[in-house]
Amino acid sequence: MTRELSPILWCALVVTAVTLGLPWWQAQLDPHALSVELMPFVVLLITVILAWRFRLAYHSYLGLLLWVAYPFQAPFSGLEQYFVLSNNDIYLLLALNLLWLPSTPPNAWYLLGWGGWLVGQCLLLQSLSWHWLEPHLPPALVQTPMHYLFLLPATRYFLGLMQGRSEMLTPLLLGAMAWLVSGWPMPWPGAVLLYAGISALLMLSVFDGAYRLAFRDGLTGLPARRTLDGDLEHAAQRTHIAMIDVDHFKEFNDNHGHNWGDNALRLLASQLRKVRGARAYRYGGEEFTLVFKRASRAEVEAALQKLQGALNAQTMIIPQPKNEADEQGSVAVRAQFTVSIGVAQRHGPHELVASVIKRADRALYRAKEEGRNRAVWG
């Protein structure tokens, strides 16, 4: 949860720094007006290209939306007459495109099409007038700033967050900050600095997404084997390594389907995160690793016993599809899984970490041979 809150804190920090320090920013940046105004434009363009290369869908399309909207919300000095949209036009542009922000993996043609679609909307809004709505709606409604339109995309992203889709947080927060640029007019360079903060946060989010692709397991969210290899380069002398494998995992998949097999791995990962004094990794397939850097042997044994006890007490309720002969509907099946564990302690700084892992692997195989659902030391 703390990781999910960090973008909120960064956004709040940017808004606070811009608003409280605006007089100071004006004095410092006024001689460099053009460079300052171009900075968000360039950073957003670089961010879109990076997100496209890393195939980060929301980041690509969101970056392009902000890139197109930026000159209309904070026009370049001397070019104001070419980038004219009313606040309600901006609200409509942001609301509809944040609502329908594509989740399709980006490629060059999709991005070019999305960019052309956004530019076309801006040109259309420039040529239209809100006066045509006045005969059909109360004038007060047409003339009132349409802040409420943000509820449309906000609802989409809140629902996604409630379903555990943490990638929805970035477009929600950065969309809200872009909304703030028009909803809270500030003297120059307030809007430019807010957009500079938006572009920087989006780029950081892209780097974080790229890091996750390289060093995090997509299914369980645990650090991947590449992270394990890096972390073990400077392993301490007391380091204990536990190799963990799900018992009869192929049979579990065959009986209940691969989706429930994936759920079982996620469930195991959630239990591994709770192991005190250890960091969990996904080693590959149904095999995981726990690394205890400072724990004693007794503490490691107690932690592994507690882990196995929690898994033995855990039951998955798996609904079974209704078959033709069953008139009572679907039947829920209770399923459990166990793990076998091989543990080894590093003998000293002279022993290679690869040797410790090899001994833990051998102990894991002995745990399988001795009946599974147990921990064996190697």
**Where among 215, 235, 266 does a domain terminate?**
215
Do 25 and 146 lie in one domain? The reply is yes
pLDDT digits (tens, 9 = 90+) for 130-148: 666 566 666 666 667 788 8
9: Cβ–Cβ under 8 A, 6 or more apart, which residues?
none
**CB–CB of 332/320 below 8 Å?**
yes
pLDDT in the model for residue 131: 61
3-state helix, strand, coil in the chain (%, to 5): 65, 10, 25
Domain that holds residue 302: 225-377
What's the mean pLDDT when you consider all of the chain?
A: 88
pLDDT digits (tens, 9 = 90+) for 6-23: 888 999 999 999 999 999
Do 249 and 141 lie in one domain? The reply is no
Do 56 and 193 lie in one domain? The reply is yes
Q: Which residues are catalytic?
A: 286
Do 152 and 260 lie in one domain? The reply is no
In a domain, 220, yes or no: no
- With 0-12 CB in 10 A as exposed, 13-18 as middle and 19+ as buried, what is 159? exposed
**Where among 215, 233, 264 does a domain terminate?**
215
DSSP per position, 255-315: HH-HHHHHHHHHHHHHHHHT-TTEEEEEEETTEEEEEESS--HHHHHHHHHHHHHHHHT--
CATH at 254: 3.30.70.270
Do 245 and 265 lie in one domain? The reply is yes
For residue 171, give the nearest of 218, 209, 120, 213 by alpha carbon: 209
In a domain, 208, yes or no: yes
Q: What is the pTM of this model?
A: 0.76
Q: How many domains does the chain have?
A: 2
Do 60 and 204 lie in one domain? The reply is yes
In a domain, 102, yes or no: yes
Give the range among 29-38, 120-129, 290-299 with minimum mean pLDDT. 120-129
In a domain, 285, yes or no: yes
In a domain, 83, yes or no: yes
